[in-house]
Each structure stands twice: as structure tokens, then as C-alpha cells.
Amino acid sequence: MSGVFDNERLLFTPTSAQLDAIPAIFAFPNEYAVGITSLGYQVVWASLATRSDVRVSRLFTDTRESLPRTPELVGFSLSWELDYVNILNLLESLEIPLRSKDRTDEHPLVFGGGPVLTANPEPFADFFDVILLGDGEDLLGNFIEAYKQVRTATRKTQLKHLASVPGIYIPSLYEVSYRDLSEGPIAAIQPLESDIPAVVEKQTYRGNTLSTSTVVTEKAAWENIYMVEVVRSCPEMCRFCLASYLTLPFRTASLNGALIPAIERGMTVTNRLGLLGASVTQHPEFEDLLDYLSKPQYDDIRLSIASVRTNTVTVKLAETLAKRDTRSLTIAVESGSERLRQIINKKLDNDEIIQAAINAKAGGLTGLKLYGMVGIPGETTADLEATVAMMRDIKKAVPGLRLTLGCSTFVPKAHTPFQWLGVNLEAEKRLKWLEKKLRPLGVNFRPESYNWSVIQALLSRGDRRLSHLLELTRHYGDSLGSYRRAFKELRGRLPAMDYYVHQNWNVDRVLPWSHLQGPLPVTTLQKHLAIAL
């Protein structure tokens, strides 16, 4: 057992496995420091480790627990698209064929879950036997129980049985046909047999106890942090936002029943607390939570908080954070243009943004980080100028506050109203233009890589034709040039990059994920798109 595991302080008690327990490997396709900071990975691992019918070992790219010689299940939690490369590398190191069609009864079932695979698993579908769509709370247990019923059966029988469990997607049991392999959209996606569900529905956990850290370690990327999920999803529903649309409905952890007991438990092993969620300050009892954290017993804790909604930034919030060793706050504003914010359904005006900055400084914070975006559908030069004007106004209203604008390029995501829209070809130029205008103002401008946005769009709108491309790029490296080279090599076997990345798609076409049902029906997403445009 590697040394990094010795530094772990567990907040649960692993169960001793029975003699006939299922030998399983649960992997995170990145380094230990990154994987152990993923709350989703921690929670699934702890769920498996507290079952006496499973014997689970962890695997990362740089370290591993001692692994079973013949695992029956090998699972991956995928949080970041480009980590697919490490999934293929780890499968190879375990001597498991990369493609599910090449595995036999002698090989383990390879399963996967996490935000990337729940949104659009199709580019990766050929590498997995089983994909778990949605929240793991009930889904994971249902998967293990269903597997136990067919544990000694053939692989074919196992997969067919698992396909009957809600939220379990078996890609090999669906056939995708194309109008034209090298150019055209998908013609149809159909189950191979009549008793396989035509649509697999994402599973949604509806309890009021959300996730909390199961392990704290100084070897994590966020050293010694104890994480508490305060809310899940986001009620704002910005039209591009996967974190809102894919995870609906908005759910909150009960304050006295879950949050406070969890924080008390975590603070016995560390003094660093992270409050997580897409919209933490929209918890209905957030003020009470702040009061609780302001108690003298927590004077020495370091508090980190995920992005907060702009109009919830009060002086009290800023004071609590400043006292608890946080120097800056992050708000997502997307653009300085009121018109664009209406298009994306960002309910916010510039006065509220300026007020948030004033409150942040008044409460003792020294910095404010804003998230912006270029290439939003309908964006014009005037909208970019409005963003510069907004930053100038904030600077003027709050001299001395350190301002950062992190800026990404709009990327279409599955299950959102903007899934049919492509990446703006002008986006890279627009990032450079903003940089040129904002640097002289003393704004710290941090653009996200445009090339990475292109790859992200490719994977977020990709279909199964991309699997061969992904195998090639693994050997070429993860630069945009590698992807272009692979497209050139596979010409005639899949559409050009432009088709996936930049093209606007017709709203009535079959999407790569049309057989996978998210929280909202496609007709609702079409309606939201029509309102936006």
C-alpha cells in the first residue's frame, strides 16, 4: 500500500469484506491529489468500501492500493473530458481490451459514471460495458444488487439483465445508424432487442442529505479540505449551463438535519471547510448557516465557498469569509451586456454587480473574481464593449479591490437549450480583444484556452464515430493539432471537426444522446431556445 494512503483521515468505517465479496477496482483517471479532491469519487468509493459484499481497491494514474488479480468490476469516475486518455492507459495496464466488443467472459465489466458520462457518454461509449447515468446515491446500490443476481452468468446475460435497471445504460445493446458515415447526422438510435428500453433515464436523488467528504488528507490538491455539498443544481437555469439543466431539480441539504452535523463531524479532523454547490448562497437558510459558522468555536477555520450568486453578496457574507481566511469571492456574470444576459437567462443587472463589489470590499475582502464568457449566441462587438465598460465601472466604484475576469468561450452542452448551437468562430479573436482592452485598466484578465474549448465542444457534442479518433489522439497528445491530424487520418469515416464544433444543428435532428433522457424533455429545451433567440 502506497504512502499517500497513510495520510488519510477517514470519516467512515470501512466494512470487512465477506469471503465471497465481489473483487472490484474503482479508479480515478488522474493523479491521486486530483482524484481524492473529487467529492463524487470519495462518496462512491466510501459507498463501496462500506459494503461487505464488495472488496474494493482504488487506482489512480500515479498510485494504487493492492489490486485483485481477477477483478469482476472495474469502475471509473470521469469528471474531466480529457481524462479519457488515462482511462485507456489504465485499461491497458490492467490488460483489459479497450473496446467492450473485444472483451470476453474472462474480463471484468468496465463501468463508468460522473458528470462527463451523464451529460454525453457517446464518444466514450465503445470503451464501457456499463454507464451509470445520474446521481449515484441509489443507482450504485441498484447496480451492485442487479450484478449479484447474474454474477455467475455469461457476460451477455449480465449486460442484458443490467439494462433493465433504471439509469443503467449498456451502449453495446443499442445500434446507431447514420445517414452518411462521413458527413451526415445520425439517422436512428435503436435497441438491438425489443425488451431493451428505447430510452434510458438519468436517475435523480431527491433526499435532503447531500454529499460530504469521506476522507481528509494533506495530499489532496486542496490540502486537508473537508467538503460539504450545500445545494445540488441551480434554480437560475442559464441556458448554456450544464450544472443547472443536467442536475435539476434544485435540491438543498437540510440545515439542522444534515449540514450542521456534517460540519461538526468534519471539523474534528481538520479546520479547512469547503462549501460546494452551483449556487451555495441560494440555500433558503444560508443566513442561518453563516450565523452558525460565525460562532467563536470556529474562529480558526479556513472557509472556502464555491461561486456565489451576485445579488447574494452581502457585507455579512464578505465579513464571515474575510474572518475565516478567504481573501476573495467568485461571481459568474457572463457578460457586461444586459441584452446578452437576457438571452442566456442570467437574471442580473449591472447595479447588482457593482453593489456586490462594494459589499465585498466593505466586508474586508481584497479581491473579486468574475466569470465571463465570449461567443455567447447573439453576441456583437457592442456586447464586448459593455463588458469592458462594466469592468471600468466596478474599478471606479471600488478602488483598491483586486479585480480578476476569468473568461471562457461558449461551449454547447448536451441537455441544455444551447445544445444545438456551435462554437463562435470569432471567439479566439474576442478573447484577445478583451485582453487588450482590460489590461490597461489594471484588470487581471485570465482567458481559458480557446483550443481547449474546441476540444471540449467536440467531446460534448460527439457521437460514437469519435471513438477511433480518441484512440489515435491518445498517441499524438492532447493538443488541438493532434485532433486535426487524427481527423485528417480518418477522413471518410466520420464528419469533419467543423460539423461537431462550429455548426448550428437543426432542432429536430436525432442527437447523439437522443436515447438518454435528462431532467427535461427535448420539447422544453426547444422552447427555452426559442425564447432565448
DSSP class per residue in 361-377: HHTT--EEEEEEEE--T
What confidence category does residue 477 fall into, taking pLDDT thresholds of 50, 70 and 90? confident
247: in domain: yes
Last residue of a domain, one of 252, 279, 306: 306
Supply the CATH number for residue 23's domain: 3.40.50
CA atoms within 13 A on the CB side of 115: 19
| pLDDT single digits (tens) 102-132 | 999 999 999 999 999 999 999 999 999 999 9
Name the CA dihedral angle for 219, 223, 226, 232, rounded to a multiple of 10 degrees: -100
**Do 41 and 9 share a domain, yes or no?**
yes
**Do 179 and 222 share a domain, yes or no?**
no
| pLDDT single digits (tens) 326-361 | 899 999 999 999 999 999 999 999 999 999 999 999
Residue 308 is given by DSSP the state B
**Do 210 and 279 share a domain, yes or no?**
yes
Q: Do residues 177 and 188 lie in contact, with contact meaning Cβ atoms separated by under 8 Å?
A: yes
**Do 142 and 15 share a domain, yes or no?**
yes
- Give the residue among 286, 285, 277, 347 at the shortest CA–CA distance from 311: 347
**Do 152 and 259 share a domain, yes or no?**
no
Cα separation of 204 and 247, whole Å? 8
**Do 74 and 187 share a domain, yes or no?**
yes
Residue 209 three-state SS: coil
Cα separation of 99 and 40, whole Å? 25
The three three-digit cell numbers of residue 104, written as one number: 470476453
| pLDDT single digits (tens) 168-193 | 999 999 999 999 888 889 999 999 99
What confidence category does residue 307 fall into, taking pLDDT thresholds of 50, 70 and 90? confident
What confidence category does residue 1 fall into, taking pLDDT thresholds of 50, 70 and 90? very low
**Do 50 and 72 share a domain, yes or no?**
yes
What confidence category does residue 458 fall into, taking pLDDT thresholds of 50, 70 and 90? very high
Q: What is the mean pLDDT of residues 282-297?
A: 92
User: Which residues are within 8 A (CB) of 60 and not within 5 positions of it... i.e. 6 or more apart?
Assistant: 27, 28, 30, 31, 32, 35
- Report the percentage of the chain scoring pLDDT > 70: 100
529: in domain: no
**Where are the extended beta strands (E) located within 15-88?**
22-27, 54-59, 73-77
Q: Which residues does residue 132 pair with via DSSP β-bridges, in sequence order?
A: 168
| pLDDT single digits (tens) 491-519 | 999 999 999 999 999 999 999 999 999 99
H/E stretch holding 116: helix 115-119
**Do 149 and 235 share a domain, yes or no?**
no
468: in domain: no
**Do 20 and 88 share a domain, yes or no?**
yes
How many other CB atoms are there within 10 angstroms of residue 320's CB atom? Answer: 21
How much helix, strand and coil, in percent to the nearest 5, is found in the chain? Answer: 40, 20, 40
**Do 170 and 209 share a domain, yes or no?**
no
465: in domain: no
- Give the residue among 463, 461, 464, 489 at the shortest CA–CA distance from 475: 489
Angle at 101 between CA 460 and CA 122, to 5 degrees: 10
Please tell me whether the overall predicted TM-score, pTM, comes out greater than 0.85 for this model: yes
H/E stretch holding 9: strand 9-10
Domain that holds residue 236: 204-306
Residue 101 is given by DSSP the state G
Last residue of a domain, one of 180, 201, 222: 201
User: Which residues are within 8 A (CB) of 531 and not within 5 positions of it... i.e. 6 or more apart?
Assistant: none
Supply the CATH number for residue 383's domain: 3.30.750.200
At residue 2, the pLDDT reads 56
Q: Do residues 31 and 219 lie in contact, with contact meaning Cβ atoms separated by under 8 Å?
A: no
Supply the CATH number for residue 228's domain: 3.30.750
447: in domain: yes
User: Can you give the length of the chain in residues?
Assistant: 533
pLDDT at 325 over 90: no
**Do 128 and 266 share a domain, yes or no?**
no
226: in domain: yes
How many other CB atoms are there within 10 angstroms of residue 52's CB atom? Answer: 10
DSSP class per residue in 185-238: -EEEEEESSTTS-SSEEPB----S---B-SEE-TTSSSTTEEEEE-EES-TT--
CA 505 to chain centre: 24
Q: Do residues 117 and 25 lie in contact, with contact meaning Cβ atoms separated by under 8 Å?
A: no
Residue reference for cell 439542522:
256
403: in domain: yes
Last residue of a domain, one of 306, 326, 342: 306
464: in domain: no
Cα separation of 229 and 283, whole Å? 11
Distances (CA, A) of 117 to 78, 284, 414: 7, 30, 11
| pLDDT single digits (tens) 368-406 | 999 999 999 999 999 999 999 999 999 999 999 999 999
Number of domains, the chain: 3
**Do 181 and 45 share a domain, yes or no?**
yes
Residue 281 is given by DSSP the state G
